[in-house]
Amino acid sequence: MIYIIIAAIMWGCSFPVITYALRDISPILFVFLRFVMSFILLIPFSKSKKDLRSIFRLDILLIGLLPALAYVLQFKAQELTTASKTSIFVNLTPVFVAILNPFLVKTTLNRYQLFALILAISGVIITSTNLEFSEITDVTIGDGLNLGVSLLWSIFIIYSKTIIEKYGDLSFNLAIYFWISLTALIFLPLEEIRFSIHAIPSILFLTIFATIAAFFLYTKGIKTVSAFSTSIVFLGEIIVAGAISYFFLNERFTLIESIGTILIVCGVLTVARAERVSH
């Protein structure tokens, strides 16, 4: 569980950095550079050509395309809806995992996990809306795309363990970086490209810290933690991003947002207890 928690913290730290970097670089170009650099830096650690050949196996190709499409869709969705609704719909991943698990991997939630789901999703909704629900009822195409993003990440989390056990950590990560890079490259002509050298420190930080290191920890953690628990822990990214925004970007929490944050923390702690009980 500790590997998953640290990975979630790393990805939570990336959100303010991404927001800052997108002032100087267009979104899809940013995704391409981040992951192609991660792929290149990881190649020297490959012990055999098998690690690279595995990238083109059908099952690992499909698992690599899931986050690739999720990244592209999320950037497009953010242009078509509000930040608060994006936060809600994208973070419905635990709900999709709970729904899909019985059909895809034949597992169901225990009472601790169900309680964790209620706590965490309630916290996401409260934190994202500040209990102002007027705009939530106005569903847009962007909201639909964000639901698609959440669904893609759910399937990715559910099948990650199987693919990692079959091909190994290195092949899994190489495949993720390669297919995200290629997908971003394909979609690159569709955006107005912007680039400034001021974006380079952010790209390097995200490449090493929030990509190579975070995905390495994810591959270690997912081997012993259930897909559902992983999806709940990843909601902690909201807390980390909020804390960084509070301390370094002078953003402020309302009382209601603080209550939502506490609910997410309680959900993460509950799911951690569920993992201890199951083991």
Q: What is the pLDDT of residues 110-167, one digit of tens each?
A: 788 888 889 988 888 887 777 776 656 666 788 888 889 899 999 999 999 899 998 8
Confidence at residue 232, expressed as pLDDT on a 0 to 100 scale: 86
| Bigger pLDDT: 205 vs 237 | 205
What's the mean pLDDT when you consider all of the chain? 84
Number of domains observed in the structure of the chain = 1
- Please state, for a pLDDT cut of 70, what percent of the chain lies above it: 90
Predicted model pTM = 0.86
Residue 66: pLDDT band with limits 50, 70, 90: very high
Q: What is the pLDDT of residues 222-260, one digit of tens each?
A: 988 888 889 988 888 777 877 776 676 666 667 787 888
Confidence at residue 153, expressed as pLDDT on a 0 to 100 scale: 93
- Please state, for a pLDDT cut of 90, what percent of the chain lies above it: 30
Q: What is the pLDDT of residues 154-197, one digit of tens each?
A: 999 999 989 999 888 999 999 999 999 999 999 999 888 999 99
**HEC sequence for the chain:** CHHHHHHHHHHHHHHHHHHHHCCCECHHHHHHHHHHHHHHHHHHHCCCHHHHHHHHCHHHHHHHHHHHHHHHHHHHHHCCCCHHHHHHHHCCHHHHHHHHHHHHCCCCCCHHHHHHHHHHHHHHHHHHHCCCCCCCCCCCHHHHHHHHHHHHHHHHHHHHHHHHHHHCHHHHHHHHHHHHHHHHHHHHHHCCCCECHHHHHHHHHHHHHHHHHHHHHHHHHCCCCCHHHHHHHCCHHHHHHHHHHHHHCCCCCCHHHHHHHHHHHHHHHHHHHHHHHHC
Containing domain of residue 126, as a range? 2-278
Does position 40 have pLDDT exceeding 90, yes or no?
A: yes
